[in-house]
Amino acid sequence: MTKPLILIVDDEPQIQRFLGHALAASGYDTCFAATGQGALEAVAAQKPDAMILDLGLPDLNGKAVIETLRAKSNLPIIVLSAHDQEMEKIMALDLGANDFVAKPFGIGELLARLRACLRKAPQPEDILRQGPLVIDLPGHTVTRDGAPVHLTPTEFDLLVMLARNPGRVLSHRQILLQIWGPAHGEDVPYLRVFIGQLRQKIESNPSAPDLIRTEPGIGYRWMAD
Number of domains in the chain: 2
Of the three residues 54, 87, 118, the one that is the final residue of a domain is 118
Condensed to tens digits (0 to 9), the pLDDT of residues 158-177 reads: 999 999 888 888 999 889 98
Tell me which DSSP letter residue 185 carries: T
Q: Identify whether residues 93 and 114 lie together within a single domain.
A: yes
Of the three residues 90, 118, 146, the one that is the final residue of a domain is 118
Task: Identify the pLDDT of residue 120.
Answer: 56
pLDDT > 90? residue 214:
yes
pLDDT > 90? residue 196:
yes
pLDDT class of 3 with cuts at 50, 70, 90? confident
* Total-model pTM: 0.66
CATH number of the domain at 187, please. Answer: 1.10.10.10
Answer whether 155's CB lies under 8 Å from 198's CB: yes
pLDDT > 70? residue 40:
yes
Q: Identify whether residues 81 and 172 lie together within a single domain.
A: no
Q: Identify whether residues 100 and 198 lie together within a single domain.
A: no
Q: Identify whether residues 88 and 177 lie together within a single domain.
A: no
Condensed to tens digits (0 to 9), the pLDDT of residues 18-28 reads: 999 999 999 99
Q: Identify whether residues 139 and 108 lie together within a single domain.
A: no
Q: Is 16 helix (H, G, I), strand (E, B) or coil?
A: helix
Q: Identify whether residues 192 and 103 lie together within a single domain.
A: no
CATH number of the domain at 66, please. Answer: 3.40.50.2300
CA-to-CA distance for 225 and 221, rounded, in angstroms? 12
Q: Identify whether residues 113 and 154 lie together within a single domain.
A: no
pLDDT averaged over the chain? 88
Q: Is 15 helix (H, G, I), strand (E, B) or coil?
A: helix
Can you tell me the mean pLDDT for 112-117? Answer: 89
Provide the residue range defining the domain that includes 171: 127-222
Of the three residues 51, 84, 118, the one that is the final residue of a domain is 118
Q: Identify whether residues 91 and 159 lie together within a single domain.
A: no
Task: Identify the pLDDT of residue 117.
Answer: 87
Can you tell me the mean pLDDT for 134-162? Answer: 90
Q: Identify whether residues 114 and 179 lie together within a single domain.
A: no
Task: Identify the pLDDT of residue 122.
Answer: 43
Handedness of CA 135, 212, 186, 190 (dihedral sign): positive
Question: Contacts from 43-48 at CB under 8 Å and sequence distance 24+?
Answer: 43/7, 43/69, 43/73, 43/75, 46/5, 46/7, 47/5, 48/5, 48/6, 48/7, 48/75
CA-to-CA distance for 13 and 54, rounded, in angstroms? 12
Task: Identify the pLDDT of residue 125.
Answer: 62
Q: Identify whether residues 109 and 182 lie together within a single domain.
A: no
Can you tell me the mean pLDDT for 89-115? Answer: 88
| Of 9-23, 80-94, 152-166, the least confident | 80-94
